[in-house]
A and B are shown apart, each in its own frame.
Chain A
Amino acid sequence: MKKISLGIIALLMTFLLTSCSEPKNNKIAVYMLLDTSGTYTQQIVKAQNILKYLLGILNPGDSLALARIDSASFSEKDIVSKVTFDLRPSKTTSQKREFMAKIVAFSKNLKGSSYTDVTGGMLQAVEYLNETGAGSRYILVFSDLKEDIKEGYIRDFPIEFHGAKVVALNVTKLSSDNIDPREYKKRLEFWTKRVEKGTGSMRVINDLQRLEHLLD
């Protein structure tokens, strides 16, 4: 009987030790980059829907940020709104409301930018995501991924993504892509290789009706 009791205690101790040794990081951090160049300003409603979906599924402790891609995006100024949800659900709900209000205000005063600094936005996103310390990190890029930077800006260097998952959303085909569809493919391949080289992963979701797989 004594041996059985000791065995049970040993098992319990093992269970407790194994369960406490490596706390799993279940937190999610999402950084959404919104292209504000050219015709993309007209697609703000789609971007809003994605953000609404994210607000619906993110839990207390998760982080969410929205930043625009403009002429020079490697800057905190381009972050429209960022929040790390409180651990209390009631507080989280009010934070989500505030975030939503900011997005609505932003979409009303949205102005198009002359250039598109996708790399700068990615760098800013990686920086933000690293700071959150979340277990799962996502960069959602709502853009055509066509980079158009000002003269003098240096962006042709590798980016370290630290395991972040890049999801390119609503990657529209440009008029030049219609003339030569290989351009579109090349653009996607370029970004996929760049992300994967930087220990990240990338996928494309063009059908925005299937948002349930957004954070897979």
Chain B
Amino acid sequence: MESINFMTSLIPGQPGLSIVISILIIITLMYFAREQAHQMFMIFARSLRNMLKMSAVSLKKAEENLKLRNREVLLSNGRDQLERYVEQEFQRVETLVNRDLAGYPSLQRDLREQITLINEDYVQSNEVPPQPPEWIKAVDTIAKIPSEGSPVVAKILNDIYNTLKKALDKNVFEYRKSSKNRHELLKKMLPYWRSLNTTLESVEEKISGLEGRSQAIDKHMQEYESILAKTDYAERTLSSSSLTQFFISGLVLCISFVGMYVNFQLVALPMSEMVGAGSYVGGVKASDVAALFIIAIEVILGLFLMEAVGVTRLFPVISALDDKKIKAIVVATFSFLLIFACIEASLAYMRDLLAADREALTQVLAGVTSEEPEFRWIPSVGQMVMGFILPFVLTFVAIPLETFIHSSRTVLGIFFVSTLRFLSIGFRLSANFILGIGKFLTSVYDLIIFLPLRIEAVIVPKDSDHSFQEVKSTRPKTAKGDK
């Protein structure tokens, strides 16, 4: 405002002329300071651009480092997980071998006995064709003697025929008898065959179970090798699996928090009977803090229990302990959980009593008289059961928590990489934009003093104009340099 006043009062009483003269003076000054002004704009713009570019490069480098670190974390997590899978599969195989194949010698003995029995029966059931009597050939020869009408010969022959027939009938009878025996023996063999078949089928099942396990181990081993080889495929697979696990475990944890809230509601009111309802810890009711503490302790006990049982691996110290100590931890944590469950059940009952008492008072104050509901005990028992069960249910929070922690490392890594990339791109764009602003300002400067520049171009020959040439030559240079 003051500068405008100064411009209008340059020649007293003539503000218009004063303004024109002032503008002319400014333009003349700007014309002479043109080169310095251009340099100032460009130096400022380039400095800023360089600074932003350097920042962009640093961010890019940080992004690459983080990317590498993420890759390492991802592969390491994947490796650990697969090691656990393979270990579990081997444990299953061991169990299978110990359980099923430990009885293999007795199975073999049974099979051998069954085969021996079958063999014996088979040998006994062999068909022995009945031998005709030795004299049958002599009889046959005599029988071929022509009778020539002699009654004696005919009688003899008739007797021979009868004797022969008797002998043959006896033979046929014996043969049928032996055949019947053989059939009975073969019939006795049938259960042995069936038993043998069942035994072999069970063996086949066990062997195929082992085969399935070995196939699973093969698959895991292939993945493991792929991770060890640090292939892109392994990284992609693990990354997508990690994201899925992150969201699923996050969802389960959210549901767990709802469970914790229900648990908190069961415990908070009765806790005020113990710690007092009017005391506060930093703006929060002491009873609420106590209830939260109990729930936190239960969750921690659950974490230790799951760790000791071998379900999770959040605390390597516990996993590294010997079996005896781990067993002691399991017993201790379970006992504490049981005690807490009993405490919670009693607190839940107490809560019900307090709520009923309060409700009765409210009704008295409201002037309402109501009878005691018939099945009043059902919610009381329900609350007690919930109070007892929830601490045990909360122990399972350890599983999604572990998954969430492991997967969040990857997900957060991906998020930070994206942020760094975004910032790097933003800085590069800003650098170019600031250089553009520098150029824009030089052009605006020239636009303001376009009149003296035009006059200079008309009066002074182009090749002899030192300053103009200089400025002109700097412009393409800067443009080239900026590219």
Instruction: Name A's B-contacting residues (CB within 8 A).
Output: 16, 18-20, 23-24, 26-27, 52-53, 55-56, 59-62, 85, 87-90, 92-93, 96-97, 100
Contacts and interface: CB of A to CB of B under 8 A. Distances in A.
Given A27-B278, A61-B276, 16 more contacts: A19-B281, A23-B280, A24-B280, A53-B365, A55-B365, A56-B362, A56-B365, A60-B277, A61-B278, A62-B278, A88-B272, A89-B269, A89-B273, A93-B357, A93-B361, A100-B364
B364 A87 contact: no
B276 A60 contact: yes
Q: What 4 A-B pairs are tightest by C-beta distance, nearest first?
A: A61-B278, A19-B282, A87-B276, A60-B277
Given A24-B283, A88-B272, A59 B278 contact: yes
13 contacts: A20-B281, A23-B282, A26-B278, A52-B366, A56-B365, A61-B277, A87-B277, A87-B279, A88-B272, A88-B276, A89-B277, A89-B354, A90-B273
A60 B272 contact: yes
Nearest to B355: A89
Given A89-B277, A93-B358, A20 B282 contact: yes
A46 to B, nearest CB: 14
A139 B183 CA distance: 114
Interface in B261-298: 269, 272-273, 276-283
Contacts of A24: 280, 283
A24 B286 CA distance: 12
A93 to B, nearest CB: 5
Nearest to B284: A19
Contact of A26 (B272, B280, B366): B280
Contacts of B366: 52
Nearest to A85: B278
Nearest to A23: B280
Given A89-B269, A89-B272, A97 B278 contact: no
Nearest to B285: A26
A60 B279 CA distance: 9
Contacts of A60: 272, 276-278
B70 to A, nearest CB: 17
Contact of A59 (B277, B362, B365): B277
Contacts of A26: 278, 280
Nearest to A26: B280
A19 B284 CA distance: 9
A100 B272 contact: no
**Candidate in A55, A61, A90 with the most chain B CB atoms within 10 angstroms:** A90
A67 B11 CA distance: 86
Contacts of A85: 278
A16 B361 CA distance: 38
A92 B364 CA distance: 15
B365 A100 contact: yes
A88 B277 contact: yes
A93 B358 CA distance: 7
Contacts of B281: 19-20
**Candidate in B269, B277, B283, B357 with the most chain A CB atoms within 10 angstroms:** B277
B367 to A, nearest CB: 8
B1 to A, nearest CB: 47
B277 to A, nearest CB: 4
A131 to B, nearest CB: 16
A182 to B, nearest CB: 39
**Candidate in B279, B354, B361 with the most chain A CB atoms within 10 angstroms:** B361
Interface string B349-380: 00001100110011011100000000000000
Contacts of A52: 365-366
Contacts of B358: 89, 93
A133 to B, nearest CB: 12
Contacts of B362: 56
A20 B276 CA distance: 18
A53 B273 CA distance: 23
A97 to B, nearest CB: 6
Contacts of A61: 276-279
Contacts of B354: 89-90, 93
Contacts of A27: 278
Contacts of B278: 26-27, 59-62, 85, 87
A11 to B, nearest CB: 15
A78 to B, nearest CB: 24
A102 B267 CA distance: 33
A93 B363 CA distance: 12
Contacts of A23: 280, 282
**Candidate in B276, B282, B357, B358 with the most chain A CB atoms within 10 angstroms:** B282
Contacts of A55: 361, 365
A27 to B, nearest CB: 6
A90 B276 contact: no
A56 B281 CA distance: 25
Contact of A97 (B280, B283, B353, B364): B364
B282 to A, nearest CB: 3
A26 B365 CA distance: 24
Interface string B233-271: 000000000000000000000000000000000000100
Contacts of A59: 277-278
A62 B276 CA distance: 12
Contacts of A56: 361-362, 365
Given A90-B357, A93-B358, A97-B364, A19 B283 contact: yes
Contacts of B276: 60-61, 87-88
A88 B273 contact: yes
